[in-house]
Amino acid sequence: MYLYEQDVRSVLTYEALIPAIRQALIDYSAGLVEQPARTILRAGNAEGAKNGWFALMPVIAGDVMGVKTVTFYPGNAELGLHTHLAVIELLSRATGEPLAVMDGRVITEMRTAAVSAVAFDALAPKGASSLGILGSGVQARSHIEALRLVRPALNDIRISSRTQGNAVRLAEEIGGRAVTTEEAAAAEVVLTATSSPSPVLEGRWLGQDALVLAVGATGATLRELDDEAMQSSFVVAESRSCAERESGDVILSGVKVQAEIGEILSGSVAAPTAGRIVFKSVGMAIEDLTAARLVWRARRA
């Protein structure tokens, strides 16, 4: 079966996805997931920032196998097209039979926000009510929905964007405020969801016990956080190997990942109780497989 974007969106919910992602992250850190390194090829379609890339992400876990092919074309924004596009193939682990092929754009959008929601629930202070967002695109919107689901008390949402009009529109849409970058960064929890290749968040703006959810700037030469933000924080990631291979925030600042979120969720590593925390997300195939399996089961039912 082929499932289009609207088919996926009609059955995939954060209520089902967030707990499934939580278990998948625990399984990953427990060594129950076979996930090779992501293969990335430059498309060579343009020079500089408009040069797109094509990635291949295979994984085996539980009773299924899968592969996601994903593209990122920054120049698509000027054409009125999505910058990220993807397709996921889901297969039976027992027989190798294809079970479904589905559009992966919405899955990428939602699983990224679901991962952040799991980390937020595990790492943010229980009384946290302020969220600062750097960015005003698709990921900003999806994160607001997912984070509010796990913490309904979030009532102070601050939006900062390099395009002020976009920040104002999103703030009006979700009942938040359009603010300066510094004011967004002063929130208890800060989400960076930009496509900037250079730091947009400076450590000097952060609160002493801030939690930073860094989901943009995937690539060894790209970063959203400056050295002070990274070096003054306890660094948590989905995967040590993925973050230390693919995250410019980690590589260029010289820090090491001190815990995987799956280790904290399982209790094998204690979460810090004070001080700044950075959770760095680069996206993993197990997250896509987890979401695709939910979609396939829901569509079958």
d(CA 226, CA 224): 7
Residue 281, C-beta contacts closer than 8 angstroms, at least 6 positions apart: 112, 115, 116, 119, 213, 214, 215, 237, 238
pLDDT number for residue 110 = 98
Number of neighbours of residue 170 by Cβ within 10 angstroms: 21
Per CATH, the number for 2-107+286-300 is 3.30.1780.10
pLDDT number for residue 38 = 95
Residue 49, C-beta contacts closer than 8 angstroms, at least 6 positions apart: 74, 75, 197
How does DSSP assign 29-92, residue by residue?
A: HTT--B-PPPEEEE--SSSGGG--EEEEEEEEETTEEEEEEEEE-GGGGGGTS-SEEEEEEEEE
Name the residue with tokens 């359009």. Answer: 178
pLDDT number for residue 295 = 98
Name the architecture of domain 112-284. 3-Layer(aba) Sandwich (3.40)
DSSP 153: T
Domain ranges of the chain: 2-107+286-300, 112-284
Could you tell me the CA-to-CA distances from 134 to 35, 166, 181 in Å, in that order?
Answer: 30, 11, 7
Please name the amino acid found at residue 148. Answer: R
Q: Are strands 98-103 and 84-92 parallel, antiparallel or unpaired?
A: antiparallel
Angle at 99 between CA 93 and CA 101, to 5 degrees: 120
Closest CA to 33 of 75, 14, 61, 3: 61
What residue ranges of the chain have pLDDT lower than 70?
none
Q: Is 146 helix (H, G, I), strand (E, B) or coil?
A: helix
pLDDT number for residue 197 = 84
Percentage, residues of the chain above pLDDT 90: 86
Phi-psi region at 225: left, alpha or beta (left = phi > 0; alpha = psi -120 to 50): beta
Q: Are strands 189-192 and 130-134 parallel, antiparallel or unpaired?
A: parallel
pLDDT number for residue 234 = 98
What digits encode the pLDDT tens for the residues 35-89? 999 999 989 998 887 889 999 999 999 999 999 999 999 889 889 998 889 999 9
pLDDT number for residue 77 = 83
Q: Are strands 130-134 and 98-103 parallel, antiparallel or unpaired?
A: unpaired
Same fold, 2-107+286-300 and 112-284: no
